[in-house]
């Protein structure tokens, strides 16, 4: 039987959608939304009917009738911390996705479940999310921070990383539950994860507070200097959050978050650009080494993914430092639409079971 599904991945001013027939993409498109139109809404969740209309229009343009769908899969947003997998969209999930107190904010990805649920309920088919950013499979030892008031949290590019881990295992002819891997997702933020027999048992906080600096994020910072900044009176809390999560890293040092532009700067003889870019690769490599110790040196594979994995300078720079730890697989770009689609199709085919969100 052929399973056709719709995948929906909302961003701040765009919505990516794809329709898959089993493993074959029928179409994939990015719908752009005017920032002024988006700004008219009181909040993010209130946009879902507006975006749903664009999704349905795009399906019509590509001659895909909604009645042919077997499921709709939305991007998992900031739900409560959950083990990895495919989850049925339910009222408890939708309530949590509306709650800004849960994680201190509401992200555009939270819309995925609302749009999926709205379309699916009209068709009387299931709506799912797959591997949200809050996937948490930490072992208890990984939660200890050194300060009892603060617990280390799992926030990462779980959707793409888990899908890549499954792909690497398939390439090696084994199940992901049979091997240890280290995953490195390199986009605007960077996640470096220890994946122990299919479970992400440790990872840096890819949003704020841990790991290497990235094109947009500051990464781990010296606590003493950070405290001095925080209590200097020069910056508000909001300004510091923006400084560390949106305009940190490469942007702060070099004025760009585009790795291709940085390489051009290096090739033109810019010594500072080379130092900063090499420092980012140095810090990523250190984090990979840390993950190797979490896995007690038993590493069957390392994969590099995300937009920066297209960059030969990045890939070769990392290989130079980490190739001794294990075989390196390069999977450039993001496989999020595939991951969403296949996460739903696996459940429809009975190859996995949808989990209940509580």
Please give the backbone phi and psi of residue 93, each rounded to the nearest 5 degrees, phi first. Answer: -65, -45
The answer to whether 28 and 5 are in contact (CB under 8 A) is: no
Residue 209: predicted pLDDT: 73
pLDDT band, very low/low/confident/very high, at 1 (cuts 50, 70, 90): confident
Helices (H), ranges, 232-326: 237-245, 249-254, 259-267, 271-294, 312-322
Residue-averaged pLDDT of the chain: 96
For 194-242, the pLDDT digits (tens) are 999 999 999 999 888 789 999 999 999 999 999 999 999 999 999 999 9
For 146-183, the pLDDT digits (tens) are 999 999 999 999 999 999 999 999 999 999 999 999 99
Residue 207: predicted pLDDT: 82
Q: Is residue 251 classed as helix, strand or coil in its secondary structure?
A: helix
Query: For a pLDDT cut of 90, what percent of the chain falls above it?
Result: 93
241 CB burial (10 A radius; 0-12, 13-18, 19+): middle
SS (H, E, C) 25-90: EEEEEEEECCHHHHHCCCCCHHHHHHHHHHHHHHHHHCCCCHHHCCEEEEECCCCCCECCCEEECC
Residue 35: predicted pLDDT: 82
Strand partners, 193: 183, 203
Residue 12: predicted pLDDT: 85
For 35-49, the pLDDT digits (tens) are 888 888 989 999 999
Q: Domains in the chain, ordered, with CATH?
A: 4-134+337-348 (3.30.420.40), 140-326 (3.30.420.40)
Taking the C-alpha atoms of residue 224 and residue 228, their distance in angstroms, rounded to an integer, is: 6
Average pLDDT over residues 50-68: 97
pTM of the predicted model as reported, rounded to 2 decimal places: 0.93
Q: What angle do CA 44, 82, 215 make, to 5 degrees?
A: 60
Query: For a pLDDT cut of 70, what percent of the chain falls above it?
Result: 100
pLDDT band, very low/low/confident/very high, at 64 (cuts 50, 70, 90): very high
pLDDT band, very low/low/confident/very high, at 105 (cuts 50, 70, 90): confident
Taking the C-alpha atoms of residue 121 and residue 132, their distance in angstroms, rounded to an integer, is: 21
Residue 34: predicted pLDDT: 86
Strand partners, 32: 14
pLDDT band, very low/low/confident/very high, at 342 (cuts 50, 70, 90): very high
Task: Give the sign of the dihedral formed by CA 266, CA 269, CA 273, CA 275.
Answer: positive
For 311-334, the pLDDT digits (tens) are 999 999 999 999 999 999 999 999
Specify the range with the lowest mean pLDDT, choosing from 203-207, 257-261, 335-339: 203-207
Residue 153: predicted pLDDT: 92
């Amino acid at each position: 039987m052929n399973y056709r599904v719709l995948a929906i991945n909302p961003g701040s001013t765009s919505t990516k959608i794809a329709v898959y027939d089993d493993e074959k993409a029928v179409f994939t498109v990015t719908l752009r939304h005017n920032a002024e139109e988006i700004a008219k809404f009181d909040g993010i969740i209130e946009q879902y009917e507006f975006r749903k209309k664009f999704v349905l229009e795009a399906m019509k343009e590509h001659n895909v009738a909604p009645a042919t769908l077997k499921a709709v899969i939305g991007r998992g947003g900031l739900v409560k911390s959950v083990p990895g997998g495919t989850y049925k969209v339910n009222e408890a999930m939708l309530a949590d996705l509306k709650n800004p107190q849960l994680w201190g904010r509401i992200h555009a990805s939270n819309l995925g479940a609302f749009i999926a649920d709205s379309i699916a309920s009209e068709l009387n088919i299931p709506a799912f999310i797959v591997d949200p950013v809050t996937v948490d499979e930490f072992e208890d030892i990984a939660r200890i921070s050194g300060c009892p008031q603060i617990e280390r949290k799992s926030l990462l590019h779980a959707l793409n990383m888990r899908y890549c881990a499954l792909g690497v295992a398939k390439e090696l002819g084994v199940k992901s539950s049979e091997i240890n891997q280290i995953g490195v997702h390199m986009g605007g933020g960077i996640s470096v994860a220890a994946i122990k027999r299919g479970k992400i048992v440790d990872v840096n906080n890819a949003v704020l507070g841990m790991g290497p600096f990235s094109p947009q994020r500051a990464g781990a910072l010296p606590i003493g200097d950070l405290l001095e900044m925080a209590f200097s009176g020069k910056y508000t809390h909001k300004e510091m959050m923006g400084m560390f999560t949106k305009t940190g890293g490469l942007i702060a040092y070099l004025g760009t978050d585009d790795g291709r532009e940085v390489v051009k700067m290096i090739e033109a003889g810019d010594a500072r650009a080379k130092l900063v870019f090499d420092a980012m690769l140095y810090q990523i490599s250190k984090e990979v080494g840390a993950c190797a110790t979490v896995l007690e040196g038993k590493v069957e594979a390392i994969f590099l993914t995300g937009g920066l994995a297209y960059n030969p300078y990045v890939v070769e720079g990392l290989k130079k430092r980490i190739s001794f730890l294990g075989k390196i697989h390069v999977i450039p770009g993001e496989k999020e639409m595939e991951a969403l689609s296949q996460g739903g199709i696996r459940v429809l085919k009975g190859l996995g079971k949808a989990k209940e969100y509580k």
